[in-house]
């Protein structure tokens, strides 16, 4: 049932009222761990509901649930440690020019966070996902807009989160759930919502981003919108292991029926025999992939229309024709095009836009200048990948370093000799990138995702008894701190 404007208002106000209850770090860590435990206990029902709504399959969903509960526990560890508060103390120093006052700085939660669930990850990027986990870790209550493709899964997960809160003596209202398109727009405009996290399409995310910026008091909008995830294969790498690269590409671009945000959608491969072997390997592997089900019929129609339009462009060939598989399925495929067609503005610009589903474009380049020309035209991405020969990886030529330098401005994560699908939930992870990959410079995966929901505050010449415990000289909470540098 879609939430009315009044119901959205009630949900936001109920969440807002719980801010003080979330102030204690011990309670937040307990909430996150208990939520993980309850989701694990409910795994059979959660996976069954998610599979019925998304057709992603029990195997994929079992792994996704494990990832979801692992990141909840990871954020609990981050809360326990306390380094995310970034406590810094500069004591008064009259010898400085100009003299320093006593300054003590740390980070405080923003307030209610609006979370928009993703279609392609009903768990890890939806109700109990990274946005929710990191916001709760920061001390921010959440109001989640469920995705229409998996409403029952959303309800099951929200219930587990609320039960976890109540089990650790926190109000269940720290987590609210609303449904409906209009509810999503009402949510981002609500005056008590302090920030938002979104994973979805460029069109939908940009509309919400613009609404967040147009408010009388604009709020941070951390949106993940779309990514082509380019791959560059050097001629030397293709000569060494063309078949291996082709097989790896096929596995990566068809994983999850091509519905991963990190799917490699554009590959720059050399002309000539090594590149031909790479394309032949890709062709063989992709032709063996069975037709699969996309998340909904709207996405299926967009994929079928999108690949038809791309395949119809001049000089575009289809070694394996992507498109409709059956009444409800789609077939994987790959397209090839001369890289020169992408080096200048024109109809082939369509090939530089993400096509959601199991298809990739292989652009065949003649020389390094064509690689540079194509890369210079790409928008921002979540990832960029480079495949090098053993000699290039060892630094025996400058080509590897040159290509890394070209790829670094394009993406938030740069890989060498690997594939971008699969985003490790690790402290050093960065899942974000220049627009339109994301609308901010933040990450939605990894420990630093918590920073999106915090703001720094500095206290100047504040008497010790009035300071927050985090900033007192005795450090009663035992926090890691940087004192006088």
What is the number of domains present in the chain?
2
Residues 191 and 205 in one domain: yes
pLDDT tens readout for residues 213-245: 999 999 999 999 999 999 999 999 999 999 999
pTM: 0.94
pLDDT at 351: 97
- Structure token digits, residue 465: 């008894």
pLDDT recorded at residue 485: 85
Domain edge (last residue) among 361, 386, 416: 416
For position 326, what pLDDT does the model report?
A: 83
Beta bridge partners of 198: 116, 223
Neighbours of 113 (CB within 10 A): 28
- Which SS3 state, helix, strand or coil, does residue 430 take? coil
Is 423 part of any domain? no
Both 394 and 303 in a single domain?
A: yes
CATH (domain of 305): 3.40.309.10
Average pLDDT, the chain: 96
Ramachandran angles phi, psi of 150, nearest 5°: -145, 60
* pLDDT reported for residue 422: 87
Q: Is 421 part of any domain?
A: no
Domain that includes residue 301, residue range: 230-416
> Distance (Å, rounded) from C-alpha 299 to C-alpha 485?
52
**127 and 18 share a domain?**
yes
Taking only the tens place, the pLDDT of each residue in 359-369 is 999 999 999 99
**Residue 182 counted as domain residue:** yes
- Please give the average per-residue pLDDT across 270-290, as a whole number: 97
Q: What is the pLDDT of residue 235?
A: 97
pLDDT tens-digit series, residues 95-125: 999 999 999 999 999 999 999 999 999 999 9
Residues 405 and 447 grouped into a single domain: no
Q: Is the pLDDT of residue 1 over 80?
A: no
Tabulate helix, strand, coil % of the chain (nearest 5). 45, 20, 35
Question: In this predicted structure, what is the pLDDT of residue 70?
Answer: 97
Is 433 within the bounds of a domain? no
Phi, psi dihedrals of residue 238, rounded to the nearest 5°: -65, -40
336 and 449 share one domain: no
301 in the same domain as 353: yes
Q: Residues 156-182, buried b or exposed e (16+ Cβ, 10 A)?
A: bbbbbbbebbeebebbbbbbbbbbbee
Is residue 432 included in any domain, yes or no? no
Compute CA distances 242 → 274, 281, 358, 452, whole Å: 6, 8, 21, 41
In angstroms, the first-to-last Cα distance of the chain is: 54
Q: Taking 90 as the threshold, does the pLDDT of residue 310 lie above it?
A: yes
- Does residue 202 fall inside a structural domain? yes
Looking at residue 94, what DSSP letter applies?
Answer: T
pLDDT of residue 397: 82
Q: Cβ atoms within 10 A of the Cβ of 24, count?
A: 15
The answer as to whether 430 is a domain residue is no
Q: How far is CA 8 from CA 12, 187, 205, 356, 395, in A?
A: 6, 7, 19, 31, 57
Residues 273 and 321 in one domain: yes
What is the spatial distance between Cα 385 and Cα 131, in angstroms, rounded to a whole number? 26
Contact between 229 and 383 under an 8 Å Cβ cutoff? The reply is: yes
Catalytic residues: 224, 261
Does 346 map to a domain?
Answer: yes
> Could you tell me the CATH number of the domain that includes residue 138?
3.40.605.10
Residue 203 shares a structural domain with residue 313: no
182 plus 126 within the same structural domain: yes
Is residue 65 located within the same domain as residue 121?
A: yes
Domain check: are 358 and 452 in the same one? no
Based on the domain organization, do 107 and 157 belong to the same domain? yes
Is 311 within 8 Å of 297 (Cβ atoms)? no
The residue count for the chain:
485
């Amino acid at each position: 049932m879609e939430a009315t404007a009044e119901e959205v208002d009630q949900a936001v106000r109920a969440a807002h009222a719980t801010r003080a209850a979330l102030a204690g770090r011990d309670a937040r860590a307990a909430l996150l761990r208990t939520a993980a435990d309850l989701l694990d206990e409910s795994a059979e029902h959660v996976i069954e509901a998610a599979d019925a709504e998304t057709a992603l399959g029990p195997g994929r969903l079992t792994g996704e649930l494990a990832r979801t509960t692992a990141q909840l526990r990871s954020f609990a560890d981050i809360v326990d440690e306390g380094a995310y508060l970034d406590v810094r103390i500069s004591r008064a120093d009259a010898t400085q020019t100009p003299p320093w006052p006593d300054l003590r700085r740390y980070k405080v939660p923003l307030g209610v966070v609006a979370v928009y669930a993703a279609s392609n990850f009903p768990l890890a990027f939806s109700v109990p996902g990274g946005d929710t986990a990191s916001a709760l870790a920061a001390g921010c209550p959440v109001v989640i807009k469920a995705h229409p493709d998996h409403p029952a899964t959303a309800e099951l997960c929200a219930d587990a989160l609320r039960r976890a809160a109540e089990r650790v003596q926190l109000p269940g209202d720290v987590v609210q759930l609303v449904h409906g398109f209009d509810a999503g727009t009402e949510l981002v405009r609500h005056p008590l919502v302090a920030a938002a996290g979104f994973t979805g399409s460029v069109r939908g995310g940009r509309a919400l981003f613009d609404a967040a910026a147009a408010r009388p008091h604009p709020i941070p909008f951390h949106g993940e919108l779309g990514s082509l995830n380019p791959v560059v294969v050097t001629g030397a790498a293709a000569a060494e292991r063309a078949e291996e690269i082709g097989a790896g590409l096929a596995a990566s671009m068809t994983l999850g029926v091509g519905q991963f945000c990190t799917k490699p959608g554009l590959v720059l491969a050399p002309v000539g025999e090594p590149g031909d072997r790479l394309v032949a390997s890709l062709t063989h592997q992709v032709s063996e992939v069975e037709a699969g089900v996309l998340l909904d019929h709207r996405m299926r129609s967009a994929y079928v229309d999108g690949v038809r339009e791309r395949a119809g462009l001049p000089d575009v060939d289809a070694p394996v024709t992507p498109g409709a598989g059956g009444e409800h399925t789609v077939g994987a495929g790959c397209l090839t095009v001369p890289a020169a067609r992408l080096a200048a503005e024109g109809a082939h610009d369509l090939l530089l836009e993400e096509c959601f589903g199991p298809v990739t474009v292989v652009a065949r380049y003649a020389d390094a200048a064509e690689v540079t020309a194509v890369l210079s035209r790409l928008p921002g991405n979540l990832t960029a990948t480079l495949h090098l020969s053993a000699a290039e990886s060892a630094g025996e030529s400058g080509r590897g370093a040159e290509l890394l330098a070209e790829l670094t401005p394009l993406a938030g994560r740069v890989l060498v000799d690997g594939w971008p699908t699969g985003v490790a939930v690790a402290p050093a992870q960065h899942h974000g990138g220049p627009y339109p990959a994301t609308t901010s410079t933040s990450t939605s995966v990894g420990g630093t995702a918590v920073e999106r929901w915090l703001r720094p505050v500095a206290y100047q010449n504040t008497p010790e008894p009035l300071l927050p415990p985090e900033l007192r000289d005795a450090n009663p909470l035992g926090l890691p701190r940087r004192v006088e540098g």
